[in-house]
Amino acid sequence: MASTLSNATLTVTLSESLTLNGANHGSTKKIQIGGVNEVSKRIMTVATGGTQIYAGGAAAAYGTFVTADVKYVRITNLDDTNYIVLHLEGASHYAQIQIAAGHAFFLTDLSSTLDNADAIASYSANDITRIDAMANTAAVDVEIMVASA
| Rounded mean pLDDT, 66-81 | 94
> In the predicted model, what is the mean pLDDT of the chain?
88
* pLDDT-based confidence at residue 114 (cuts at 50, 70, 90): very low
| Rounded mean pLDDT, 29-35 | 92
Question: pLDDT digit string (tens) for 34-66?
Answer: 999 999 999 999 999 999 999 999 999 888 999
* pLDDT given at position 123: 58
Within 8 A by CB and 6+ apart from 44, the residues are 51, 53, 141, 142, 144
Q: Is the pLDDT of residue 116 over 70?
A: no
Distance from C-alpha of 49 to C-alpha of 4, rounded to nearest angstrom: 42
| Rounded mean pLDDT, 69-93 | 93
Whole-angstrom distance between the N-terminal and C-terminal Cα of the chain?
19
Distance from C-alpha of 79 to C-alpha of 117, rounded to nearest angstrom: 33
Q: Report the predicted TM-score, pTM, of the whole model to 2 decimal places.
A: 0.85
